[in-house]
Structure 1
């Protein structure tokens, strides 16, 4: 059975991980630019999904769709795809491929099919059981899950609120394929911990195992939480790592909004993190979400004030709120930006002080095709 993987830029790391998982079960996910062969697999987020719906609906082969959008809206995706993987794919996708190949496709756990009753997921992926990549290389996912239930975020609903970690020796083994070690994780400084209380001894153990690499930690493609940014954690990063920037999320300059978002930190935590990063000779890169439905005018202006504060000492990354399905804020509309907020963000962007998109939230995904 020929199994293909539809190449989509935003899903490159998913491809690397699922290629490795399927390869161990005897299936090679052949990269394609259009659906073909016996089976074509897709991984979609909620921005890219509309771009591929017609292609999937009209495909002449069997189609399998997974990813964040499929996990959040399985019934909707099942209207145009043959099979929908509703959770983590490392175990579910090879299991489904075996069922398709054998002709026994009824009630595969964690898979929705329009002609079969849905059988819920019956497993949680044990990260050490799966390589992060094989021939199709990707960033190394070191942790999965998040204990914080931020109202706009899909991570807890897809991967759960209990953190799972890849062991140090496995990370080091796969990092040996690269000069630079870069990681996928919802909060790099939570490695080895429950996600709430840092275990810096385990972070240092990871760093020691990677001393043949140039380590980039708490920067693209991951970040950290502001309350995890302390003198102790920064001492470790500056001692072992090569990055001169640290990326963390503020999201809002209003404590009232942060409470509504269930972020679990305060504006004061953000300011302390900025000070600490600068004191350690690094540049803070701080994420913000504007147009949040729970904002009032004063909250939006407070966020703008904090953006100005950040860019005097670092960089800001600003994006318009996206109502992601499967989150508490699904279906909510972004709040219009005040004219002065629009004006100031535009000026800062022209000056090269901020990046992002606060008019078209999907712009950063549109190059995926």
Structure 2
């Protein structure tokens, strides 16, 4: 039985991860530009899913769909796909392929069909699977997030308990290449519970890495309350990147509290100042258009963006109500004319990237490195 992987730009690292997991049990995922026999696998987010919906429904082969959207909306996705992988796929996908090859019905924990679903009873241990093999990818060092930010799918897909790959496991793969880049919801949370940092463990990790190290920048980031002189010293002493990417998300404390972000505006501004003092450029995420955002909240966000932009860069997003999040089903509010003007001025001045009017862009363009 031939297992294929539908090539989708936004799912390149998922391909690396799942290809490596499948190889451990003898499966080779062949990249294809369209569905092909016998089985074609997809990984979709909640923005690009609509692009592939008809293709999956009309495919003349067995279709398997996973990813953030499939996890959040498995019942909907199962109306078009033959099988839906809900949650993590490293163990579930190879097991599903083995079931299908043996003539089984594919009804195993973690897999949904239009009329059946049984959830898995455990989470993936990262060290049990390689981060990549023949298909190169970034090394995922941590998974899960203890926070419950209203717009984020991460804890819904991977849980609230952080899991970490071992230092030896990370070094084994990261040191194969000239540059080491990592996937994690918060690089400064490595080795910790995600709330109380363990900078000693991060230093131990960095000491075991060779070549160029990019930490806390694309394709990962950090949280503002984890930025301090000690954490910044680790970047200065061990890492190649001269930028640090973190999320402020709003310049309004009222909005941050409602989002359950777990930090204040003052902490985000202070983090940017500390980066500047350490000779590191802060690249700070902001989201505009939250459904409950008042005019004053939006003006406070503009003020915070302008303050950060004096010594750093802004990466902006328009709010997207992602399925499976507390804000699913909400609608983005309109932007004030002054918001659009400030964003435009900052963009023209080279201080801002992203999109404040086309939210989908953040899923199809690479972040500032």
Correspondence for 1:34: 34
Q: Does residue 119 of structure 2 align to residue 120 of structure 1?
A: yes
Pick which of 38-47 and 102-111 moved more.
102-111
Change (3 A) 1:214 1:193: same
Instruction: Give the alignment's Cα RMSD to 1 decimal.
Output: 1.1
Change (3 A) 1:176 1:47: same
Preserved CA contact (<8 Å) 2:96 2:106 = no
Correspondence for 2:310: 312
Q: Distance in 2 between matches of 1:106 and 1:117?
A: 10
Correspondence for 1:159: 158
Dislocated runs of 4+, deviation >2 Å: 363-368
Q: CA deviation at 1:120?
A: 1.4
Preserved CA contact (<8 Å) 2:20 2:131 = yes
Q: CA deviation at 1:61?
A: 0.6
Q: Does residue 6 of structure 2 align to residue 6 of structure 1?
A: yes
Q: CA deviation at 1:366?
A: 4.8
Q: CA deviation at 1:106?
A: 5.0
Q: Distance in 1 between matches of 2:321 and 2:107?
A: 31
Q: Distance in 1 between matches of 2:341 and 2:329?
A: 27
Counting only pairs closer than 5 Å after superposition, residues 132-147 of structure 1 correspond to structure 2 as 132-147=131-146
Q: CA deviation at 1:105?
A: 1.7
With structure 2 as the length reference, what TM-score do the two structures score? 0.98
Correspondence for 1:207: 206
Correspondence for 1:174: 173
Q: Distance in 2 between matches of 1:124 and 1:364?
A: 28
In the alignment of these two chains, the number of paired residues is: 366
Preserved CA contact (<8 Å) 1:323 1:332 = yes
Q: CA deviation at 1:184?
A: 0.1
Counting only pairs closer than 5 Å after superposition, residues 15-30 of structure 1 correspond to structure 2 as 15-30=15-30
| 3-state secondary structure, aligned to 1:89 | coil
Q: CA deviation at 1:365?
A: 3.3
| 3-state secondary structure, aligned to 1:30 | strand
Preserved CA contact (<8 Å) 2:92 2:109 = yes
Preserved CA contact (<8 Å) 1:45 1:68 = yes
Correspondence for 1:255: 253
Q: Distance in 2 between matches of 1:123 and 1:5?
A: 25
- Stretches of structure 1 that go unaligned for 5 or more consecutive residues are none
Correspondence for 2:358: 360
User: What is the aligned counterpart of 1:235 among 233, 236, 242?
Assistant: 233
| 3-state secondary structure, aligned to 1:90 | coil
